[in-house]
Structure 1
Amino acid sequence: MRISFYTVGKGHEDYVREGIEDFTARVNRYYSCTWKILPPARHTGDARPQEAGPILAALSPDDYLVLLDERGRTWTSEQLAGFIATRANDSCRHLVFLIGGAYGVDETVRARAQFTWSLSTLVFPHQLVRLILSEQVYRACTILRNEKYHHS
């Protein structure tokens, strides 16, 4: 199984780049893992419909899409690990975690997602969400292998 992190926005800011690169490299020990940064809409107003096209075009029909959204379901780290294990056991070829644009995603993208996940009821800057996401997926991988990183 491959894991990809898709995000709408600018490239990784310097203050989080090192952490994102580190945790992405760590995830690569378990699953092939990449980032795809999709450009934000260029016009003002509701950018979600304009951003939907490139998001949907980046996905293959058999990709399993997890949308990160504050209105989604929350998980513990152990539940995330179980989710990843289930996808791998179900022969999922490509698991995609999507961080939408600054104003969320269009309903067409929301409808395409197989699952909507909320990291927290708090709202975080997109740059920090990237770091948290990559760390939590790494943590989940270590939980699945019973490695020492996670302390429960």
Structure 2
Amino acid sequence: MKPIRLYVIGAAKTPFFKDAAAHYLVALRRHLPAEEIVVRDGKAADAARRKDEEGKALLARLSPRDTVIVLDEHGRGLTSRELAAKVSACIEDPGRVPCFVIGGAYGLSQAVLDRADLTLSLCPGTLPHELARVVLYEQLYRAAAILAGAPYHH
């Protein structure tokens, strides 16, 4: 089975977010192969230029056949079961690789948002990017548990 790819801008720096993300990534991998790809933070001081730098680095790693799901506050909210159905559809398509993308401190560039096959929101508000990583990994673990019939989701 092909792995889900998890593209994140910058390494987690806050210890409790780093530990929580690692915990849920291990849990997710019990059900589905998952690969975390850390893209280096942009260096520009200006937020727009920094997002553009990070966006170019992200887009360089994506292939045209990838199913790109980006996290953005303006995205669509899904229930756990709806997310499980999306994950299932992505992993069952033999020609495509599901790729979840979390931006950095300033979000994602317009070019990355334009490349998205789906824009997903984890909540109506804005989350710090390190917390968004933890929440996404937990939600993907929950989705994988639903698909596996495991008791985690109740």
| Equivalent residue runs for 1:7-86 within 5 Å | 7-45=8-46, 46=48, 47-86=50-89
Identity of aligned residues (%): 33
Deviation (angstroms), 1:11: 3.1
SS at match of 1:120: coil
Q: Please point out which of 77, 95, 109 is paired with 2:112.
A: 109
What is the letter of the counterpart of residue 132 of structure 2? V
Q: Which is worse superposed, 7-16 or 37-46?
A: 7-16
**Considering only aligned residues, what root-mean-square deviation do their CA atoms show, in Å?**
1.5
SS at match of 1:124: coil
What is the letter of the counterpart of residue 19 of structure 2? E
Write the distance in 1 (CA, Å) between the matches of 2:135 and 2:73. Answer: 14
What is the letter of the counterpart of residue 38 of structure 1? V
Deviation (angstroms), 1:98: 0.5
Deviation (angstroms), 1:18: 2.2
Write the distance in 2 (CA, Å) between the matches of 1:87 and 1:39. Answer: 26
Determine if the alignment matches structure 1 residue 122 to structure 2 residue 125: yes
TM-score normalized by structure 1?
A: 0.91
* Unaligned 5+ runs, structure 2: none
Closer, same or farther: CA 26–10 of 1 in aligned 2, 3 Å = closer
SS at match of 1:96: strand
Q: How many residues align?
A: 151
